[in-house]
Structures are given as C-alpha cells and as structure tokens.
Structure 1
Amino acid sequence: MDYKIGEILEGTITGIQTYGAFVSLDDHTQGLIHISEIQSGFTKDIREVVQVGEKVRVQIIDIDEYTQKISLSKRTLESQFVRPPYHKKRYFTNKNKDIGFQSIEECLPEWTDEAMDMLLSGKTSQSK
C-alpha cells in the first residue's frame, strides 16, 4: 500500500524503546513514533503513555525517500495542547533579600587586595 505524508491511520504498537514506539500499519509496513511525537509536553517514560498491543491513531509526518522509513505522530492529532505541570523555579539565593550583585560589589575590593597580597608574596591559596 502507498502511504502519503499527512495521512491518518490506525495501527498497533509492536515494540517500545526509550526513543519511541514501533507501530504496525499493515502486515508489511511499520513506522516509528518518536518519543517527542507521542504527546505534547515532556514524556519521561514512553511506557506510561502506550503499551505493546495497543491500537493507536497516528498521522504520517515523514517518509524517508531512500529507506522508506515512516515517521508517525500521535501529538499532531491531539485536540488541544496538554500543558506540562507547573514547576516552581528554584533559586540558589533568597530572591526576597536584596543582596544579589550588591554583596559582590562590596566584597570585590577586599578580594582584590587579598589576591594581590598573595601574588606579591608568592603564596597561593593552596599553599596556606
């Protein structure tokens, strides 16, 4: 059977790897859904989304002209974008305190003096 890019088909998951899932489209044709095309958002473990033997609706997004490998997508058929869960941004400093670069500016002259003293005396911080 001749397949075309954009075509929507039903297939069966025949194998799962960390990088994607193999889908049997007919008795002689197989395609791959890359992990980035399984669903919108981040997919940590593809096995949480699809299982071997599961029937899936997929869209052909690419056919390699030379190898005839078929790239498939489930993500393009989603009716709406699935927003990934909100992750609180973590800071290494307390963002509520106004310290940031100001403390570096205050300490820099002292650090510079220490470095110059060490250079002039021939000592390094490792030889203390």
Structure 2
Amino acid sequence: MKYRKGQFVKVKVTGIQPYGAFVETTDHVEGLIHISEVMNDYIHNLNVFLSVGQIVKAKILDVASDGKLNLTLKENDYFRRQERKKEKKSVLDEINTEQSIGFESLRERLPDWMAKAERY
C-alpha cells in the first residue's frame, strides 16, 4: 500500500521508548509516534496513554525515503478528550492572592472548596 502525508491509518503499537512509540501498519510498514505527537500537553510517561499491542488511529505527518512513517495522534478524538480533561484547574488556582489568608478565612472557604473538588 502506498502511504501519503495527511492520510489516517490504523497502527499497532509494537514498542514504547521514553521518546515515543514504535508502530506497525497491517501490511508491516514501520513507523514512530514521537512523544510530542501524542497530545499538546506535556507527557511524562507514555505508558499511561499507550501500551504494546494497542491499535490506534494515527495521521501520517511524513513518509521517510525508506518508507517508514512519522505519525501523530493529536487529531485522534480519544487523545483530544484526554487533553480536555487535563484543562480542568485545581480549586487552589481560584484563590485570589490579594485576599487575606489566615486560619479563619480558610475555615470559611473550606466547604466551598470541598464542594468544587467533588465536582471534578
């Protein structure tokens, strides 16, 4: 099969390294999904998102002269949803630094913070 830039393909993860995941198409063409091409967020451990044997839909970024594929998962709906989950902020981010903070003000705000935390 002839692969081209921009095409979506299903690939099977054959190996995971700290820098990316090695994959293979159904007709045994090899490729790499670099860790920076999994999602726009920072990823510390690729094993949290991918595992050997997993089949994913990826977009071809480039086809090397030797036929190997350079792929991205950034346009895969599953990985986009994972990014949106990370966009939720901590209730601690909502604390206004200009407000006075002490034991009494913390006691007053704690029930509200607990309610917000339970919603996440």
Normalization by structure 1: what TM-score?
0.60
Query: Does residue 1:74 correspond to 2:80, yes or no?
Result: no
* Structural mapping, 1:1-128, within 5 Å: 1-64=1-64, 66-78=65-77, 80=80, 82-83=83-84, 84=86, 86=89
Please tell me whether Structure 1 or Structure 2 has the larger radius of gyration of its CA atoms.
Answer: 1
CA distance in 1, matches of 2:57, 2:10: 4
Q: Which has more helix, going by share of residues?
A: 2
Shift of 1:60: 0.5
Alpha-carbon distance in structure 1 between the residues aligned to 2:10 and 2:67: 19
Stretches of structure 1 lacking an aligned partner (at least 5 in a row):
90-94, 97-128
Aligned-pair RMSD on alpha carbons? 2.3
Give the number of aligned pairs.
90
Distance in 2, Cα, partners of 1:67 & 1:55: 23
Q: For residues 28 and 52 of structure 1, what CA distance do their matches in structure 2 show?
A: 15
4+ residue stretches of structure 1 with deviation over 3 A? 78-81, 83-89
* Identity score, percent: 32
- Residue 30 (structure 1) shift: 1.1
Shift of 1:12: 0.8
Structure 2 stretches lacking a partner, 5+ long: 99-120
